[in-house]
Amino acid sequence: MKTIMTTVLLVLVISLGYAGNTSVQQARQNLNVDLKNVFSEDISRYNNYLYQHGIEKLDEDVLVIFRVNEDQSLGVLRVTCDNPQAIEYVKHVLQSKNIKADDCLVGKAFTVNFDLRYRAY
């Protein structure tokens, strides 16, 4: 079966402890791009989590709060959304993908708003 997926993913990263440093600002922008790329690539991939779980459509606003751990990985603190399938998908991607933040972000917490749009055809 041929599957075509379309998505619109908007990621906005807002630091809860932003210092205003240029290198920190650049690291935040890089993390924003990395997150957007990880989700865009995963949603576009055939046989992804959504396909495997029979999810044909998502049209959700998802709020994620995470912390950058000592090893520069992302530790999910909270995922909030009205749709439990979207919550599980976001948790799955953030826990299964190797997303590394810049070392200047270690110990900082961030809020990410995802505008998650997905349709499988």
Backbone angles phi, psi at 95, to 5 degrees: -85, -25
Tens digit of pLDDT at every position of the chain (121 positions): 444 444 445 555 444 444 455 588 899 999 999 999 999 999 888 889 999 999 999 999 999 999 999 999 999 999 999 999 999 999 999 999 989 999 999 999 999 898 999 888 7
Question: Taking the model in full, what pTM does it have?
Answer: 0.79
Distance CA 38, CA 4 (A): 18
Domain locations along the chain: 5-120
The residues, ordered by sequence, that sit 6+ positions from 43 with a Cβ below 8 Å of its Cβ are 5, 7, 9, 50, 118
